[in-house]
Every structure is written in C-alpha cells, then in structure tokens.
C-alpha cells in the first residue's frame, strides 16, 4: 500500500499493531457503568467485545449529553414530505423517551423482549427505538414500505410480543395504510404477538381488533406509575435485530449489541464522517435499514449533534426538496445513496442551483458503488468542486463503515468509483476462493480478518447459518461476498457481488464496470446489468437502462449506447441485448436487485422479492427483454 498521507498511515498502522488497545481507547470515549474484564474474546466464528462491561446505548445517546449541560441543544428534527416539522432538544427527547420507556414497562415489555416497529421515519418511531434500548428490550424495525409477507416473516422470526405501527405513512404524495398491512401480516401463520399499538395521525380511526389493539394515547397512559429509567446492559447483550436487505437471498436477521455497536458507529462517525456536536446532519435513508439505525438515530445522537429524520421521497413534492431542506436547516453533512444521486441526476443541476448550499461541508454515499459519472455530476456540476463527495462501503452486518475516506482524520485524494481504503481497525484483503492472496489490480473476493466491534456476532435464531454463510466459505476470514480489487495505492474498487460476475469467453467482468460504462452516455440515468447464458461465449451481458428526462428510446440511441460501452470496456464486453425501462428492480434501500434481472433473462420466477420497492419493475423488465429478444429473432438470418 502506497498511502502518502502520514497521519492516515500512522492511524491505520496503530489499528493493526494492537487491535485490542486500539478499540479499547475508542470504547473509553463512551460511558460505562462497569469497565470490561476482557477487551476481546474470540471463539470462532462468534466473539465478544468488552466482555463483562456494562453500558447502555440510549444512556450514551441522551442522558450523557443532558448531564453534561447540553440539554438545550437541538437533537432531532422530524420532517415529512407534507411540510410538517417538529424539533426536540436533547432534554425534550430524553423526557419523551423516558415516558415511552415507562409505557413499555406498563405493557409488560422488559429486558430481552422483542418488539417490532413498523412505522414511518417519524419521531414516534425513534422514541420507540431509544426507549426499547433504554429498558433492555430488543427492537426489530421493519421499513414502512414492506408488504405483509415481509413484515409477518420478521415478526415471527424474531418472536416479537408487541408490534408498534401507525395508521399510515406518506410516500410520493400517497397515503400507505400501515395498520391494514399489520392486520394482514398477523392473519397468517402463528405468532407470539400479544398487543398492537397504533399511532394515529390527525384523528384517524383505523379498524382495531378488540383485546389486541390499543391506541398510542392509551399506551402512554399505561406508563403512569412506571419507571422510565435505563438498564445497565452487558456489552454483548443485543440492542436490536435487523434483517439484511435481501438483494441476493432470503434476508438474515443480524444482531447488534449495546457495546460493540456503539463503539464502532460512533468511532466511524468521527473518523469517516467527521461528525461533531455542532453539525446539522441529514441521512436521507429510512429507519428499517442499517443506515437509518446507525446514522439517522444512534451515531448522530452519540456525537451530540442535530440529526434530521425525513419521512417520504426526497424528490417529492418536487425535485428541489433535497436542496430546500439543506438550505432551510443549514445542513452541514449529508449521507445519501448513489441511487438517490442518480435519481437527482435525472432532473439536472438547475434545482440545486436555485438554493443556497453554502452550509454544506461534505456529502457521503454508500449502498452501491458511486459510479464516476454520478460522482462527477454531483461533485463538479452541482457542488462546483467546493464540497467533497465521498464514497464508502459497509453492510448491514458491519453496523457502520469498513471502507472509506477518513474525512475526520485527514482527507485522502478521491478516486471516483473507489470506496477508498480500509478504515482504522479494519483488517481487509482480497483473496481467491481458496484463500490465496490476490496481487494489486487482481480481482477476487473481499474478506475481513479479525472481527471488529461493529461486526454482527451471530444471526438471530440461526447461529449455524452465521458460521456457514460468513466464516466457512473461505476459512478463517469473514467473507463479504463482494468482488473487488485493491490498486497499488491501497484503494479498494468493488465490482459487484461475487456471484454476479459475468464470465464472457474466459474473461470476468463486474456488473458495476458495465453499469459505469453505460452511465458514460449523457442520456443514461441508471443501468442494471446481468449475465445470461450464451452457447458460444459462456455468458453475454443483458443490460437494462433508465434514461434521463428528455430522452426517448430509439434504435439509434440503443446503437449509440452500445458503441459507448464497447469504447469504455473493449470488445470483451459482449452485449446480448440492451433494454430500455422506466425503473429498475431495487430494494427499498436503493440497491439494484440484479438476481431479479437474471431471473428475467432466464424466464424464471424471481424468488423472494419481499424487499422490492416496486413489483411492477419486474414485469416491465420482463416485457422489455421479451420484446427485444423477439426483435432479434425476427431479424436473424434464416438457415
């Protein structure tokens, strides 16, 4: 590795030289009711961090700041796409969380009980998350966009005894009836749910099941005479369970703990994001995804800054919504997804240039690779080179970043399309499937060595699957499942999921490489690609392309785009067909579901799509693919 920045070099070396001392120093930044006996205990594949130490995630996020005299500082700003806005100081947020914690105890919820939260990204949901952590209950947040099947699966798998929901949520100007979906989810297979608590907006009165359902106000009244205090939690006791995004297989329930999780996300908030108490921070994600948990709720509150929680679509009611919010609230840091960047690209830079963005200091992206064309559009066209746009990479299972540009330590030069370098305290390498190390520029599987505090130590109810899926595929290391290479400067380049590599006549091409080549064309807003079998070459590329506003599909545009891809990647990139679509099948966290595209090209059922954002995108992709295949057959010469 040829990193030239001596500050970053020393920091990375420090994390490698003595990982236990390194993470021990980071942990001492938080409050511990009892110090740990051993920093790290490893019984492969599982492990314990800060063993015997007692802390509490909610206490560190709220009580500590109030005790230090910062109770009057704004903690949470709750916004939605209909213009509603509520602001809570740290003292006010703590008071409300104590009230909800008491109400939970009044409902019989205690340490170790699981509760499902199926609610919008609204203050009430965040109060519930913090209150659950406060009393030692384990929250299971399900994104308020999933259907009844996905919700029911998560309720049953977690063994939740109470479900918290709302009458509805807002999405692109529409009302989505959440209570109805809960009723459907609980009407199927057996479950352990005893009560459903319903937060109703504007006096709404959804159907209620007698003896099971109670209104939010009644729930709060049940806390009278109950204690809203915190419970000291052993470092390795679960704070929450969260399902993985489900892009590649049926979701797994990752477990995150009070101690290790807090240490990792708060450390990376400082090191990678440069988060500080005077920040106004906006992560455009939703609760129910790990980004929402870590960087809407917990890490910003651990850092003592102001965090924005937004309910709705970031381009609704109009394409200027994002830029209006940044201007109005003087946002200093934004965390968003490459999918969101490409969405905004479709509207051009004019909406941004109508607003004062001078408060903005940095933009962070994660979720998919931030392709170089999307990076350049945001960095140069929108932000005019003033604000760094920083890509980084992590997973639900890692709780927070593992690769990135250490903005809070010392910025490294940005290489568009790269996730930068392994962050302090992270041991990472690229290897072949037999564990043989890959050289600079050689593509292989990204693996992580020694566990770090944020890594999930198990899967809820499936400890054997945890070992099998993560630690046994390449023995002795954690397998991320992502294909990548590391260049001679130590920068990491991800090429997509390892099982999504396209193999053409002996050459391996990453899906990200082809999608990036598509984006080099000025008419393209998004692209998703997959490989399909070919009798001559093994596989060829099937591409699905979304155009920017003002462009319409045509044979001429298709040919022009094919020439762009060949120019970028060379003749090895053989395109079987190029399909124009209005949307791509994506999870509700914005990740392209390439396995669904592959199923389309193989004329197969897509399998589990409970996490998909728009089921109509699957049928649209299928129709586009069938149409172009019919066109190819019609024009093929007869023998």
Q: What is the residue-wise DSSP string for 621-634? A: HHHHHHHHHHHHHH
**Measuring CA to CA, which residue among 582, 543, 584 is closest to residue 565?**
543
What's the confidence (pLDDT) of residue 417?
93
Does the CA dihedral 522-528-532-538 come out positive or negative?
A: positive
**Measuring CA to CA, which residue among 375, 371, 387, 365 is closest to residue 291?**
365
506: left (phi > 0), else alpha (psi -120 to 50), else beta? left
Asked if 189 and 259 sit in the same domain, the reply is yes
Residue 157, domain member (yes or no): yes
Query: What are φ and ψ of residue 335, in 5° steps?
Result: -120, 120
CATH number at residue 618: 3.30.300.30
Q: Point out the domain boundary residue: 485, 518, 545.
A: 485
Asked if 179 and 52 sit in the same domain, the reply is yes
Q: How far apart are CA 331 and CA 354, in angstroms?
A: 16
Could you tell me how many residues make up the chain? 639
Query: How far is CA 590 from each of CA 113, 152, 330, 583, 631, rounded to the nearest angstrom?
Result: 31, 22, 26, 12, 31
Residue 590, domain member (yes or no): yes
Range of the domain at 546: 510-635
Taking the C-alpha atoms of 236, 258, 332 and 348 in order, what is their torsion angle to the nearest 10 degrees?
70
Does the CA dihedral 299-303-304-308 come out positive or negative?
A: negative
Residue 497, domain member (yes or no): no
Residue 368, domain member (yes or no): no
**Measuring CA to CA, which residue among 484, 474, 497, 499 is closest to residue 45?**
474
Q: What residues contact residue 425 under an 8 Å CB cut-off, 6+ apart?
A: 15, 19, 22, 23, 26, 267, 452
Helices marked H in 289-381:
290-292, 299-303, 321-329, 338-345, 350-353, 372-376
Residue 428, domain member (yes or no): yes
Asked if 210 and 161 sit in the same domain, the reply is yes
For the beta carbon of residue 301, count every other beta carbon within 10 angstroms.
Answer: 25
CB 62 within 8 A of CB 90: yes
Q: How far apart are CA 110 and CA 231, in angstroms?
A: 10
CATH number at residue 234: 3.40.50.12780
Asked if 463 and 548 sit in the same domain, the reply is no
What's the confidence (pLDDT) of residue 506?
61
**Measuring CA to CA, which residue among 357, 401, 394, 409 is closest to residue 379?**
357
- DSSP code per residue over 23-70: HHHHHTTS--SB--SEEEEEETTEEEEEET-EE-HHIIIIIHHHHTT-
Residues of the chain with pLDDT below 70 are 1-4, 245-250, 505-508, 588-589, 606-622, 624-639
Residue 423, domain member (yes or no): yes
Domain count within the chain: 2
Asked if 104 and 231 sit in the same domain, the reply is yes
Q: How far apart are CA 378 and CA 355, in angstroms?
A: 15
Asked if 141 and 220 sit in the same domain, the reply is yes
Asked if 456 and 525 sit in the same domain, the reply is no
Longest dimension (CA), the chain: 86
Asked if 130 and 17 sit in the same domain, the reply is yes
Q: How far apart are CA 632 and CA 627, in angstroms?
A: 9
**What pTM was estimated for this model as a whole?**
0.85
What's the confidence (pLDDT) of residue 269?
97
Residue 48, domain member (yes or no): yes
Q: Each residue of 629-638: b (16+ CB within 10 Å) or e? A: beeeeeeeee
Gyration radius from the chain CA atoms: 24
Asked if 521 and 470 sit in the same domain, the reply is no
Asked if 434 and 570 sit in the same domain, the reply is no
Place of tokens 């109670």: 214
**Measuring CA to CA, which residue among 312, 300, 240, 245 is closest to residue 276?**
300
Asked if 153 and 203 sit in the same domain, the reply is yes
Taking CB atoms within 8 Å and a gap of at least 24, the contacts of 621-627 are 621/544, 621/579, 621/581, 621/584, 621/585, 621/596, 621/597, 624/544, 624/579, 624/580, 624/581, 625/542, 625/544, 625/577, 625/579, 625/600, 625/601
pLDDT per residue over 388-424, tens digit each? 999 999 999 999 999 999 999 999 999 999 999 999 9
Residue 491, domain member (yes or no): no
Rounded to the nearest angstrom, the gap between the alpha carbon of residue 259 and the centroid of all alpha carbons in its chain is 21
Q: Each residue of 341-364: b (16+ CB within 10 Å) or e? A: bbbbbbbbbebbeeeebeebebbb
Asked if 190 and 254 sit in the same domain, the reply is yes
What's the confidence (pLDDT) of residue 535?
73
């Amino acid at each position: 590795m040829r990193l030239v920045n001596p500050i970053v070099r020393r920091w990375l070396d420090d994390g490698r030289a003595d990982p236990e001392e390194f993470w021990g120093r980071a942990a001492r930044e938080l409050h511990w009711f009892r110090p740990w006996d051993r920093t790290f205990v490893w019984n492969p594949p599982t492990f314990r961090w800060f063993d015997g130490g007692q802390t509490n995630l909610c206490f560190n996020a709220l009580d500590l700041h109030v005790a230090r005299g910062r109770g009057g500082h704004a903690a949470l700003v709750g916004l939605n796409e209909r213009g509603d806005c509520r602001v809570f100081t740290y003292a006010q947020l703590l008071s409300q969380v104590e009230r909800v914690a008491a109400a939970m105890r009044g409902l019989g919820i205690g340490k170790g009980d699981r509760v499902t939260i199926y609610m919008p990204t609204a203050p009430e949901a965040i109060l519930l998350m913090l209150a659950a952590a406060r009393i030692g209950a384990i929250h299971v947040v399900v994104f308020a966009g999933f259907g009844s099947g996905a919700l029911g699966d998560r309720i049953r798998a977690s063994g939740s005894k109470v479900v918290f929901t709302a009458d509805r949520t807002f999405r692109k100007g529409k009302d989505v009836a959440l209570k109805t979906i809960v009723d459907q989810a609980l009407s199927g297979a057996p479950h352990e749910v005893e009560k459903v608590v319903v937060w109703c907006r504007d006096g709404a009165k959804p159907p209620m099941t007698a003896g099971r359902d109670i209104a939010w106000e009644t729930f709060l009244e049940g806390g009278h005479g109950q204690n809203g205090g915190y419970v000291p939690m052993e470092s390795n006791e679960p704070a929450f369970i969260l399902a993985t995004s489900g892009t590649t297989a049926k979701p797994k329930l990752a477990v995150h703990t009070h101690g290790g999780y807090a240490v990792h996300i708060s450390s990376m908030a400082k090191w990678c994001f440069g988060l500080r108490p005077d920040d106004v921070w906006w992560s455009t994600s939703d609760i129910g995804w790990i980004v929402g948990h870590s960087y809407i709720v917990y890490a910003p509150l651990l850092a003592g800054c102001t965090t924005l929680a937004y309910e709705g679509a970031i381009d609704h009611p109009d394409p200027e919504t994002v830029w209006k919010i940044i201007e109005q609230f003087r946002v200093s840091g934004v965390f968003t997804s490459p999918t969101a960047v490409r969405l905004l690209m479709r509207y051009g830079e004019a909406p941004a240039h109508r607003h004062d963005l001078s408060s903005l200091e940095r933009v962070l992206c994660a979720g998919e690779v931030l392709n170089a064309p999307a990076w350049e559009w945001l960095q140069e066209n929108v932000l005019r080179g003033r604000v760094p746009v920083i890509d980084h990479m992590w997973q639900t299972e890692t709780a927070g970043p593992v690769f990135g540009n250490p903005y809070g330590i010392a910025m490294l030069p940005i290489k568009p399309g790269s996730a930068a370098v392994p962050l302090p305290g992270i041991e990472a390498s690229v290897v072949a499937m037999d564990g043989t190390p890959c050289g600079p520029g050689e593509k292989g599987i990204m693996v992580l060595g020694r566990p770090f505090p944020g890594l999930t130590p198990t899967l809820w109810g499936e400890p054997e699957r945890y070992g099998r899926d993560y630690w046994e595929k390449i023995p002795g290391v954690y397998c991320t499942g992502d294909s990548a290479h590391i260049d001679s400067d130590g920068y990491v380049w991800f090429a997509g999921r390892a099982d999504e590599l396209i193999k053409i006549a002996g050459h391996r091409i990453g899906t990200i490489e082809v999608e990036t080549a598509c984006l080099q064309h000025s008419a393209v807003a998004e692209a998703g690609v997959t490989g399909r079998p070919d009798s001559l070459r093994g596989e060829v590329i099937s591409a699905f392309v979304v155009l920017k506003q003002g462009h319409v599909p045509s044979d001429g545009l298709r040919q022009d785009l094919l020439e762009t891809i060949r120019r970028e990647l060379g003749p090895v990139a053989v395109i079987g067909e190029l399909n124009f679509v209005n949307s791509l099948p994506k999870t509700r966290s914005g990740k392209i579901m390439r396995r669904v595209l592959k199923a389309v090209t193989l004329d197969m059922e897509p399998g589990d799509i409970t996490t998909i954002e728009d089921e109509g995108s699957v049928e649209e992709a299928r129709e586009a693919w069938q149409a172009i295949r019919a066109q190819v057959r019609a024009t093929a010469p007869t023998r």
